[in-house]
Structure 1
Amino acid sequence: MAKSGSEQESALTPEEAAASGMVLALHAQLAPQRMAVASAAGTRSFGELNARANQLVRALRARGVAPGAGVALLCSNRPEFVETMAACQRGGYRITPINWHLTGKEIGYIVDNCEAEAFLADARFGAKAIEAAALAPGARVKLAIGGAIDGFEPYEAAVEGQAGGNLSDPQLGSQMLYTSGTTGHPKGVYRRTPPGPSPLLEKLRETAAFKPGEDAALVTGPLYHAAPLALNLLFPLASGVGTVLMDKWDAEETLALIEKHRITHTHVVPTMMHRMAGLPKAVREKYDLSSLRWMLHGAAPCPVHVKEEMIAWLGPVVFEYYAATEGGGVFIGPEEWLEKKGSVGRALPGVTVSIQDEAGRELPAGETGTVYFKAPDVGRFEYFKAPEKTEGAYRGSYFTMGDMGYIDEDGFIFLTGRSAELIISGGVNIYPAEIDQELLQHPAVADVATIGVPNEEWGEEVKAVVQVKEGIHAGPELAQELLAFAANRLPGFKRPRSIDFAEDLPRLPTGKIVRRQVRAPYWPVKGKSI
């Protein structure tokens, strides 16, 4: 490919690369042929990925999209997703990946709200993209990935006409991801000033101990979500480690890919671990998983027995963090977890965690309240164009993700559920996650969501909504069996009073159950807020 006069010919230093969003260019310089992305939709070496990112920046610039502009991306797990992220990192753009499970109207709201001047969409979601584009007139530049979309320019044609050499004037870009929008419209989480060094990132680097040229990472979740994007994709790539993209998660396929690609690192959510641990022994033993050194999980509390099974099966390779798009930094390794089963870890150096009651008073060790993190002095998050929501997320210098929990006498944090999920029966607080954890140990249970339902005397009573394993008959006999099982394992006030069955439970794309949706049919509109 011919080089343009504007291309940067000199070698990059690591400091220059980090400051300008060109870290991938550094790895392309060192090992251009090394695999960077492998997927069913194509592969890219580091050299190819770097060139395509440069081409896309030039294509956007040629269409009038200047540094500082917003770029919206609606794309499945494929190489073009990674190319767009890399281009925005070095082009000075503010990238917003969008959940493709949303409706066209919801997508349109985000494209418009994030002030995107460019909208890149996967042809797989063409109908939604067309509807969304009509609601976001500010997105002047529209590119279609992997096929045609009416009103969109072909991505390939736009990119191929540009030079692939390094930019002479790269600028560090930013990300703005939107929350899932459980109440009202989704909110963009944004930082006007880049945050300082992250204690969590430093801990992840230390424990991951990447070996470029030897290691490989597996992307298990949709890349529009914060955790898969940061931890499955950008983290290993920035370390020079290639990634394998799953299009849709499946328990056995995960094992097959670990064996095939000799995967060393991955990030999962507890539901995935539960499904993998629940595979028949013959299936689990069919695959060689000895390459795996680091399996990170977060997003929700993990049932103790599931994590015990995973460590017994895979060895001491299961690490856990507690954080969110907004921030935070709690971590625990496998050996430490075995000493403090059920904990999500201790706050890392430089991170302050406070357990507070409804009045904002800090609670002593062992008492359950809302988990708050102290916000950093520099690089605090805000909700884009929503100052009232930003203000509501903070309590002084602290913010919360809505989780309930406590800190033990040794400083280990234990989560008990979310404040919106709390069941209050006869004035007693009951945490659904604790009941879920016990019922999940029954051999017939594939998954469960414990909720509070109306009770005239007590206000709420405990109900468990169960999804049974394949081949199991869900009926009155099993319901009675599960009630008896729970009665043997839980104190009286925590025991479910009834069991309902569901063919499937509503989930976020990460696999996390949306408990409010399970609860909604049981409450009249005028009743409890959901």
Structure 2
Amino acid sequence: MTSLSLAEAVRQVTAGNPVFETAEAEIRGVTYRAFCNTPPHIRALMQASRAAQADGTAEYLVFQDERWSYDEFCNDSNRLAQALQDRFGIAKGDRVGIAMRNCPELLLLITAIASVGGVAVFLNAWWTTEELDYALEDTGLKLVFADGKRVQRLRPLAAGRHLTLIGIRDGEPIGDKVFSEILAGISEADWPQVGINTDDDFAIMYSSGTTSHPKGVVQTHRGAINAVFTWLMQAALTPVLDPPEDPDAPAPRPVGLVATPLFHVTATHPIFLLSLPAGAKLVVMNRWDAETAVRLIRDEKVTRFLGVPTQSADLSEAASRLNEPLETLDFLGAGGAKRPAAQVEELSRRFPGANIATGWGMTETNANGIGMVGQEYLARPGAAGRLYPPVQELRFLGDDGGDVAPGEIGEITVKSPCNMRCYLNKPEATAEAMQDGWLRTGDLGWIDPEGYVTIVDRKKNIVIRGGENIACLDVEGALHRHPAVAEACAFALPDARLGEVVGAAVQIRPGRAVTEEALLAFLGEHIAHFKIPERIWTQPDPLPRGATDKIDRRALRAACLPEWPGVRAPA
């Protein structure tokens, strides 16, 4: 390690590479510090990244037995962009839905929609028809690209919403139109010529919150680009802060495994979008399977793995079972949920050549935020890391909205050009979360004298199950639809593998009877499977309440925990 401070290293890297220079920028009436020499939008990012991808000749994308060079990927993106314009009349600002599991078409849609100035709307592939209907109403979508299972879920909604469904892969036989036929008449296409402002909308991604419905997070081109170059800068800072033993040794080409769903920001931003200027190759998994991941890492020489902590544990166990050392891995990161501290040392022993890393970010921040890697993480396995420089600012606020003293617990509040533009159609929620450019995250934490942040709790009533954010009120709302349920309360239960799972308690109406099994079956018709509680406690009496006559969630959870497997009752 050098004796340079982080601030000194930032100055050194910025002086040596003008792409990392920053300047003040006024965005929607607020002054931020932002990168000033980066590509202004996603289409320009793709064009500028060609040099990093061996002038377009490098193998860029691998999916099962299909492969694309970078130029081939860009050409297919441009073919799709032309079809969006010519066949469907997609113009600047128009929204296009994406509903599918991971596949190459999903990546092509992200770039093609962005290239024509459209706005990609990511629909969670696990949502039920009922949940999809809410998002369609919220966004006004009329065009959705979907795979087979998603076409089936969307079909009951299509006629009433005048929705056109474009079938992808197994969805082609049942879609209104066939994806492969749309592109069949276009062999090559130039880059679209639509003018795009850096502060135009780029995407809408849904994030669970404290309301019964998810919130549509509106991201801009500038927000996504500033996040990407923030991560690029961290890679440039690493050899300055921790010089390698042989600085002249050539580094292997980065190869990233896409193991998490691409309708989540963890996969789209720090894996896919970052891969473009980083000159990285992508290997895409359709769905998570640990043994398949081990074989792909081995065969494709994957260097970078980023997933929820559960996947890191699964990967470690599968690699041990298959006796595969996975020596090409040099980065093993976690996002979406906090990794158990005990797992950090275990992963370091299992993969000695990999830097174990953690990161904290939000859909609302384009995944930018806090993180650390290597020895600093091993020394502080319970912390979240330090704020990524250079465009972010950080505060910790008390309940009165004022700053708390360093070392005291406060609400983590961040300001950067990466922050969302707004919550779609929710001005009150936007005003509550965004104040003078500062985003109140709802997470509670504290910062030590060296700048390392530890997250201790969440103000929001959210369960994080293996990286999936689940609003308690979403689960409660579904439970309340059952005629036998008088009141319901959902809460987090600890889980050794997933970190947290959903638990719930309900009061049964007088004169009614319902089993836990019947409630679980009922929920399966209304909410996605990952939101369904692992255990439902039923009782005839009202649920406990606090001084304000609201259900006392913490007291209820504490009362249920002794009956949860593996949890010891308090003395």
1:371–1:22 distance in 2 versus 1, CA, 3 Å: closer
Give 1:253's aligned amino acid: T
What is the distance in 1 between the residues matched to 2:256 and 2:175? 36
Q: Give the aligned partner of residue 259 of structure 2.
A: 220
**CA offsets per residue over residues 298-333 of structure 1, 9 Å max, x none?**
222211110111122223512222111111521212
Q: Secondary structure at the match of 2:370?
A: strand
Unaligned runs of 5+ in 1: 1-13, 424-431, 455-501
What is the distance in 1 between the residues matched to 2:226 and 2:84? 31
Q: Out of 358, 361, 370, which is 1:330 matched to?
A: 370
Give 1:101's aligned amino acid: W
1:170–1:35 distance in 2 versus 1, CA, 3 Å: farther
- Post-superposition shift, 1:273? 1.9
1:20–1:323 distance in 2 versus 1, CA, 3 Å: closer
Aligned sequence identity (%): 21
Q: Out of 280, 289, 297, which is 2:334 matched to?
A: 297
Q: Out of 54, 70, 84, which is 1:60 matched to?
A: 84
Q: Secondary structure at the match of 2:188?
A: coil
Q: Give the aligned partner of residue 317 of structure 1.
A: 355
228-237 or 356-365: bigger deviation:
356-365
Q: Out of 235, 257, 261, which is 2:300 matched to?
A: 261
Pairs within 5 Å for 1:363-442: 363-373=404-414, 375-376=415-416, 380-394=420-434, 397-420=437-460
What is the distance in 2 between the residues matched to 1:51 and 1:422? 41
Q: Give the aligned partner of residue 142 of structure 1.
A: 165
Q: Is the 8 A contact 1:370 1:403 kept in 2?
A: yes
Cα RMSD (Å): 3.8
**CA offsets per residue over residues 394-444 of structure 1, 9 Å max, x none?**
356532332222222332111123234699xxxxxxxx99x95xxx8xxxx
Q: Is the 8 A contact 1:200 1:329 kept in 2?
A: no
Q: Secondary structure at the match of 2:405?
A: coil
- Post-superposition shift, 1:334? 1.3
**CA offsets per residue over residues 64-103 of structure 1, 9 Å max, x none?**
2212211111121111111111211211110012111101
160-169 or 87-96: bigger deviation:
160-169
* 1:72 paired to 2:111: no
Give 2:400's aligned amino acid: A
Q: Give the aligned partner of residue 186 of structure 1.
A: 214
Q: Out of 104, 113, 116, which is 2:129 matched to?
A: 104
Q: Secondary structure at the match of 1:87?
A: helix
Q: Give the aligned partner of residue 174 of structure 1.
A: 202
Q: Secondary structure at the match of 1:101?
A: coil
1:413–1:135 distance in 2 versus 1, CA, 3 Å: farther
What is the distance in 1 between the residues matched to 2:67 and 2:315? 27
- Post-superposition shift, 1:260? 1.0
Q: Give the aligned partner of residue 460 of structure 1.
A: none
82-91 or 158-167: bigger deviation:
158-167
1:221–1:303 distance in 2 versus 1, CA, 3 Å: same
* 1:159 paired to 2:200: no
Q: Is the 8 A contact 2:80 2:183 kept in 1?
A: yes
Q: Is the 8 A contact 1:142 1:151 kept in 2?
A: yes
For normalisation by structure 2, the TM-score amounts to: 0.68
- Post-superposition shift, 1:344? 0.9
- Post-superposition shift, 1:386? 1.2
What is the distance in 1 between the residues matched to 2:269 and 2:295? 23
159-168 or 414-423: bigger deviation:
414-423
- Post-superposition shift, 1:168? 5.2
Q: Out of 376, 383, 392, which is 1:343 matched to?
A: 383
Q: Out of 349, 353, 357, which is 2:398 matched to?
A: 357
* 1:197 paired to 2:220: no
Q: Is the 8 A contact 2:501 2:533 kept in 1?
A: no
Q: Is the 8 A contact 1:108 1:135 kept in 2?
A: no
1:59–1:187 distance in 2 versus 1, CA, 3 Å: same
- Post-superposition shift, 1:218? 0.4
Give 2:276's aligned amino acid: L
Q: Give the aligned partner of residue 106 of structure 2.
A: 81
Unaligned runs of 5+ in 2: 1-18, 20-36, 240-249, 464-490, 506-519, 545-550, 554-571
- Post-superposition shift, 1:207? 6.5
Give 1:332's aligned amino acid: M
Q: Give the aligned partner of residue 324 of structure 2.
A: 287
Q: Secondary structure at the match of 1:175?
A: strand
What is the distance in 1 between the residues matched to 2:538 and 2:411? 26
Q: Secondary structure at the match of 1:410?
A: coil
Q: Is the 8 A contact 1:41 1:79 kept in 2?
A: no
Give 1:366's aligned amino acid: G
Q: Give the aligned partner of residue 236 of structure 2.
A: 206
- Post-superposition shift, 1:153? 0.7
Q: Give the aligned partner of residue 35 of structure 1.
A: 59
1:263–1:87 distance in 2 versus 1, CA, 3 Å: same
Give 2:403's aligned amino acid: E
What is the distance in 1 between the residues matched to 2:462 and 2:112? 43
1:148–1:215 distance in 2 versus 1, CA, 3 Å: same
- Post-superposition shift, 1:145? 0.8
Give 2:231's aligned amino acid: L
Q: Give the aligned partner of residue 21 of structure 1.
A: 43
What is the distance in 1 between the residues matched to 2:330 and 2:43? 28
Q: Is the 8 A contact 2:41 2:222 kept in 1?
A: no
For normalisation by structure 1, the TM-score amounts to: 0.72
What is the distance in 1 between the residues matched to 2:462 and 2:135? 30
Q: Secondary structure at the match of 2:326?
A: coil
252-261 or 188-197: bigger deviation:
188-197
Q: Is the 8 A contact 1:25 1:166 kept in 2?
A: no
What is the distance in 2 between the residues matched to 1:19 and 1:451? 39
Q: Out of 273, 282, 300, which is 1:234 matched to?
A: 273
What is the distance in 2 between the residues matched to 1:176 and 1:238? 23
1:262–1:218 distance in 2 versus 1, CA, 3 Å: same
Give 1:201's aligned amino acid: W
What is the distance in 1 between the residues matched to 2:501 and 2:180? 48
- Post-superposition shift, 1:291? 1.0
Q: Secondary structure at the match of 2:338?
A: coil
